[in-house]
Amino acid sequence: MPDQPKNPTSPDLDAWRKAAAKLAPSGDLSRLAWKTPEGLTVKPLYTKRDLDGLPYTDTLPGFEPFIRGPQATMYAGRPWTIRQYAGFSTAKESNAFYRQTLAGGGQGVSVAFDLATHRGYDSDHPRVSGDVGKAGVAIDSVEDMKILFGGIPLDKVSVSMTMNGAVLPVLAGYIVAAEEQGVAQNKLSGTIQNDILKEFMVRNTYIYPPAPSMRIIADIIAYTAQEMPRFNSISISGYHLQEAGATQALELAFTLADGKEYVKTALSRGMNVDDFAGRLSFFFCLGMNFYLEVAKLRAARLLWWRIMKSFAPKNPRSMMLRTHCQTSGWSLTEQDPYNNIVRTAIEAMAGVFGGTQSLHTNSFDEAIALPSDFAARIARNTQLIIQEETHICDVVDPWAGSYMMERLTQELADAAWTIIEEVDAMGGMTKAVESGWAKLKIEQCAAEKQARVDRGEDVIVGVNKYRLEKESPVEVREIDNTSVRDSQIVRLKKLRAGRDQKAMQAALDALTKAAESGEGNLLDLSIKAMRLRATVGELSAALERVWGRFKAETQSVSGVYGAAFSDDAEWKALQADIRAFAEREGRRPRVMVAKLGQDGHDRGAKVVATGLADLGFDVDIGPLFQTPEEAARQAIENDVHAIGISTLAAGHKTLVPALVEALREQGASDISVFVGGVVPAQDYDFLHRTGVKGVFGPGTPIPECARKVLAAISARRPSTV
């Protein structure tokens, strides 16, 4: 192009600053910069100068440090795997869904288990009556596994299993199901999540204490390295950390530090790093923070390479971070839910630009219930459209060379590295988790985030801005928990009647003994027991006999949420009302925040507890995994004015009525019951009829909840004790 005019002057940044300042609010250019929750500054303009001093701006995909991707051709060669996570109460329904997905362009199966299975209980255990078939498929034995994978060629279809607590019986059950399908274990491909450290921080679906849990992981890594070369032994997950409130930097840091801990554990068992490092995979969250999410995946690969380099592997694959990603469930809104389709598409794009190896896109109705067929189809098609209509796949790492993206990648990596060093100084992630420090760090982020949303500083369209005057109900999938449980119990009875009890018991005893002595491979022994038709609950109990069940210590942050409201007139008015209540009643309003059943997602409960306490409530936190009867007893013993139940896993229709009934039986109907969390609009009436005083959907600001609770208990028992 010979006639092209030359750049008139070399770029003069000062001149730009002056011009831009004129357009900035109050002439202050810094007001256009965005400070991210982790404290990074995102500027309105990046220039070539921002690349100064960056060490990794000229690298290639498929080569160290892998910042641009683990493979040379990335999606230009073959796009990412579309992997939709799903589980529908029974093995039969789930199986039908998987086959439908595979026929419709899905490329792998991803299994969601129900809460009872996660926690190592059989469906007939009395503590899980409200949890069977909730949030996933109920699996009690190999027989259920065989139905789950019926007609799915396990040597061809890769299977991803979200399982962390009951990893041994579930992975063993899958292996035996394949074996009886005629597929040898060395042909199996897929991933088991098996990331227990993050469970202690956020999701709480653990069974045993940290130390024996780490042994299970080491045994699984060792066994799969030897027998299942195509299977990923662990999926180190940041997803749930971000969902619980962590910033991107914290998600990145804790996930990689978890990974480092697993590597150290395996090495301490005498394994060679190259024998297993290539089979470690990752799992990150994609939220609405678009640029940072792209940067996060690039930074993750850079940092993992840096971490692994220190273990001196010979195979470059050992330093290569491969990851699955899922769009954020937290970003989905109950209000105006079709907006979620747009959110999910944007989040999916961030994952694609970041170079993920597989992707799950959420269904738009998942803020309310398990996905309907319609919503699941749209979610899957979102990925197909990006893959096949847009030509986005044709270029590898297209954001490389962007002044902004290169700068942010490095800054995010640096921020995460500082946290990783802090973890190292504490003695590694197991220590950081055991002390409760890591969990509190995430909860602090969550409280800050909630305050920003409740104050409207972080905009959520349709929730704290542009609200619809009237919401129209969305069709949702209903689960009949009782019938699922009943049919599982029948199947369990049949299984127990038809097996060689003596041989089975001997296999379980061998497991107990291995737990005691520390010798033998637990996965190997689990496979033997599952083959003889031990159940998930029996196998878990055989180990529990030695290790016990882990009991979390509840710590909580305080002051973080309230600090954001220090100048807020409405907040102060509410505090004054609470003080007035305390004077009138002779004590502060006392509420119990509880979770019922096996659902361990406690972000909502903890954020509400800290917010209410900052306002001036006395807050009793109930232990996780309480039964309705236990919660009623605690409420009565502590003589609270009200109970708030946080529910995210569809337990509200069985567990809440049971709680109300337990209170009534003990003459404590005057204790008001509130429900918060994921409740479909059509269930509000049902809950109100049960006697619930208020239902707070996602997005209800804490002060609003507080005001309603205060009004209800003020009206209830005036000036008596």
Q: Which among 63-71, 131-139, 383-391, 606-614 is the span making contact with another protein, rule CB under 8 A? A: 606-614
Rounded Cα distance, 198 and 119, in Å? 15
- Strands 85-86 and 590-594, by their bridges, are unpaired
Among 112, 147, 532, 609, binds another protein (CB under 8 A): 609
- Read off φ and ψ for residue 300, nearest 5 degrees: -60, -45
Rounded Cα distance, 310 and 37, in Å? 30
Identify which of residues 590 and 708 has a Cβ nearer to another protein in the complex: 590
| Catalytic residue chosen out of the listed positions 75, 223, 239, 262 | 239
Identify which of residues 524 and 618 has a Cβ nearer to another protein in the complex: 618
Say whether residue 622 binds another protein (CB under 8 A).
Answer: yes
Stretch 682-721: interaction string toward another protein, x if CB under 8 A: --------------------------------------xx
Say whether residue 630 binds another protein (CB under 8 A).
Answer: yes
State the nearest-atom distance from the C-beta of 663 to another protein, in Å.
10
Q: Which among 17-25, 43-51, 65-73, 630-638 is the span making contact with another protein, rule CB under 8 A? A: 630-638
Considering only residues 522 through 551, tell me which ones interact with another protein, judged by CB under 8 A: 551
Say whether residue 127 binds another protein (CB under 8 A).
Answer: no
Could you tell me the CA-to-CA distances from 719 to 582, 638, 670, 671 in Å, in that order? 10, 18, 13, 15
State the nearest-atom distance from the C-beta of 89 to another protein, in Å.
29
- Strands 280-286 and 323-327, by their bridges, are parallel
Identify which of residues 3 and 637 has a Cβ nearer to another protein in the complex: 637
Q: Give yes or no for a contact between 540 and 205, defined as CB atoms under 8 angstroms apart.
A: no
Say whether residue 215 binds another protein (CB under 8 A).
Answer: no
> How is 563-619 classified by DSSP, letter by letter?
HTTTT-HHHHHHHHHHHHHHHHHSS--EEEEE-BTT----HHHHHHHHHHHHHT-EE
Q: Which helix (H) or strand (E) holds 255?
A: helix 248-268
Say whether residue 203 binds another protein (CB under 8 A).
Answer: no
State the nearest-atom distance from the C-beta of 619 to another protein, in Å.
5
End-to-end CA distance of the chain: 88
Rounded Cα distance, 192 and 442, in Å? 24
Identify which of residues 415 and 613 has a Cβ nearer to another protein in the complex: 613
Place of tokens 């923070």: 289
Among 57, 556, 682, 714, binds another protein (CB under 8 A): 556
85 is catalytic: yes
Rounded Cα distance, 340 and 195, in Å? 28
223 is catalytic: no
Nearest Cα to Cα of residue 230 among 133, 291, 145, 156:
156
Place of tokens 């940041």: 238
Say whether residue 582 binds another protein (CB under 8 A).
Answer: yes
Say whether residue 552 binds another protein (CB under 8 A).
Answer: yes
Among 122, 365, 614, 683, binds another protein (CB under 8 A): 614
162 CB-side CA count, 13 A:
26
State both tokens at 268: 């301490």
Identify which of residues 100 and 555 has a Cβ nearer to another protein in the complex: 555
| Catalytic residue chosen out of the listed positions 50, 56, 75, 85 | 85
| Cis peptide bond prior to 65, omega within 30° of 0 | yes
Say whether residue 444 binds another protein (CB under 8 A).
Answer: no
Q: Which helix (H) or strand (E) holds 236?
A: strand 234-237
Q: Give yes or no for a contact between 360 and 110, defined as CB atoms under 8 angstroms apart.
A: yes
| Catalytic residue chosen out of the listed positions 601, 641, 653, 693 | 601
Say whether residue 659 binds another protein (CB under 8 A).
Answer: no
Say whether residue 47 binds another protein (CB under 8 A).
Answer: no
Say whether residue 610 binds another protein (CB under 8 A).
Answer: yes
652 is catalytic: no
599 is catalytic: yes
Residues found near another protein in the complex (CB under 8 A)? 551-556, 558-559, 562, 575, 582-583, 585-590, 609-610, 612-624, 630, 633-634, 636-639, 666-668, 720-721
Residues with a known catalytic role: 85, 239-240, 595, 599, 601
